């Protein structure tokens, strides 16, 4: 399913000031064979693609030539009734406004490729005028089905809105396009977090250079920075900054095997005060061993670790 369509000219224009227009149509529901769709309401918001700020909005009811296609009483709470559209303008009376909003912009909406785009073309064809032409189409139904999946259930706008706690879909054009934009923002946020924190969200975090959690920040403050620029069997642990104007100094080396992650670094086995004593004991042992067999040296070397 093609859900994002752009030509080469469109891509060049989008680098400039081409805006995105989210739009939605409300129509009658044909209940007889061969009965056509009539546009009863058009609603749209124009947004800036860089920050999704709403720049312009427009909404109007539309009176069909045959009022009998509109129900006297709608089955929806805020549905469109025959009385509501009785005094609304005909499509040809607001065609110029609709054309100016849609033509030369990126069209966006939920299931617009299959339904809304077709109805727009039919409405302009009926009055003998060329239909507006988009520079690109973004159908959120296809985009979200591919990227977000069916974790929210079916991909109807009402279901997605309920999943994110955005309230009940009103099935009125302007309300629905604004809800459509909010649903996209929510889905994009979830997908961004999942791609940025995949292991954290699944409980499998092993350490990341770009993500800092509470345990990571504690580790950093406790250990100082770790230098692994030239691995020669033992990474060096150095202090993070200068102290009293002096350069950082080496404090201790770890085991020979490199750690699997930063979080695996073990504490230095000897305190700074005992390091000198340890060195002295090693020196004395080696001096005594000069006149003794090697196995005698090994026999007494276990005393170093006591």
Whether 157 maps to a domain, the answer reads yes
Number of domains in the chain: 1
Active-site amino acid positions: 171
Q: What is the pLDDT of residues 94-131, one digit of tens each?
A: 999 999 999 999 999 999 999 999 999 999 999 999 99
Whether 185 maps to a domain, the answer reads yes
Q: 53: part of which helix (H) or strand (E)?
A: none
DSSP β-ladder status, 136-139 and 106-109: parallel
Whether 15 maps to a domain, the answer reads yes
pLDDT for the residue numbered 33? 77
Whether 262 maps to a domain, the answer reads no
Whether 211 maps to a domain, the answer reads no
Q: Does the reported pTM lie above 0.75?
A: no
pLDDT for the residue numbered 34? 77
pLDDT for the residue numbered 132? 98
The better pLDDT of the pair 268, 165 is held by 165
* Residue-range definition of the domain harbouring residue 67: 2-197
Whether 264 maps to a domain, the answer reads no
- Count other C-beta atoms under 10 Å from residue 83's C-beta: 11
What is the mean predicted confidence (pLDDT) over 143-163? Answer: 90
Q: What is the pLDDT of residues 192-237, one digit of tens each?
A: 998 888 776 666 655 555 555 555 555 455 544 444 444 444 444 3
* Cβ-based burial of 102 (10 A; exposed 0-12, middle 13-18, buried ≥19): buried
Considering the chain, what percentage of its residues have pLDDT values greater than 70?
58
CATH number at residue 25: 3.30.420.10
Is residue 1 within 8 Å of 37, Cβ to Cβ?
no
Whether 259 maps to a domain, the answer reads no
Range in 190-204, 234-248, 276-290 the model is least confident about = 234-248
pLDDT for the residue numbered 152? 86
The pLDDT of residue 31 is above 90:
no
pLDDT band at 260 (very low <50, low <70, confident <90, very high): very low
Whether 234 maps to a domain, the answer reads no
pLDDT for the residue numbered 32? 79
> Phi and psi (nearest 5°) for 12?
-70, -40
Mean pLDDT over the full length of the chain: 75
């Amino acid at each position: 399913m093609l859900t994002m369509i752009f030509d080469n000219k469109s891509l060049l224009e989008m680098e400039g000031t081409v805006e995105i227009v989210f739009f939605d149509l409300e129509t009658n529901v044909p209940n007889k064979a061969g009965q056509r769709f009539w546009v009863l309401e058009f609603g749209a918001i124009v947004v800036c693609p860089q920050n999704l700020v709403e720049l312009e909005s427009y909404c109007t009811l539309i009176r069909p030539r045959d009022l009998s296609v509109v129900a006297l009483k709608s089955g929806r709470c805020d549905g469109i009734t025959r009385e509501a559209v009785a005094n609304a303008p005909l499509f040809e009376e607001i065609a110029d406004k609709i054309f100016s909003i849609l033509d030369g912009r990126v069209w966006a909406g939920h299931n617009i490729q299959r339904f809304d785009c077709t109805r727009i073309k039919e409405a302009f064809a009926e009055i003998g005028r060329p239909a507006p032409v988009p520079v690109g189409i973004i159908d959120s139904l296809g985009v979200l089905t591919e990227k977000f999946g069916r974790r929210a259930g079916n991909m109807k706008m009402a279901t997605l809105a309920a999943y994110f706690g955005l309230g009940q879909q009103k099935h009125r054009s302007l309300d629905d396009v604004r809800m459509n934009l909010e649903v996209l923002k929510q889905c994009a946020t979830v997908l961004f977090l999942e791609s940025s924190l995949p292991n954290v969200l699944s409980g499998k975090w092993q350490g990341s250079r770009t993500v800092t959690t509470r345990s990571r920040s504690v580790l950093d403050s406790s250990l100082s920075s770790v230098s692994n620029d030239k691995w020669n069997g033992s990474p060096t642990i150095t202090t993070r900054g200068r102290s009293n104007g002096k350069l950082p100094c080496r404090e201790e080396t770890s085991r020979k095997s490199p750690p699997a992650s930063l979080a695996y670094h073990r504490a230095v086995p000897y305190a700074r005060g005992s390091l000198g004593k340890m060195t002295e004991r090693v020196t004395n042992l080696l001096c005594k061993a000069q006149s003794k067999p090697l196995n005698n040296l090994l026999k007494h070397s276990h005393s170093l670790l006591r």
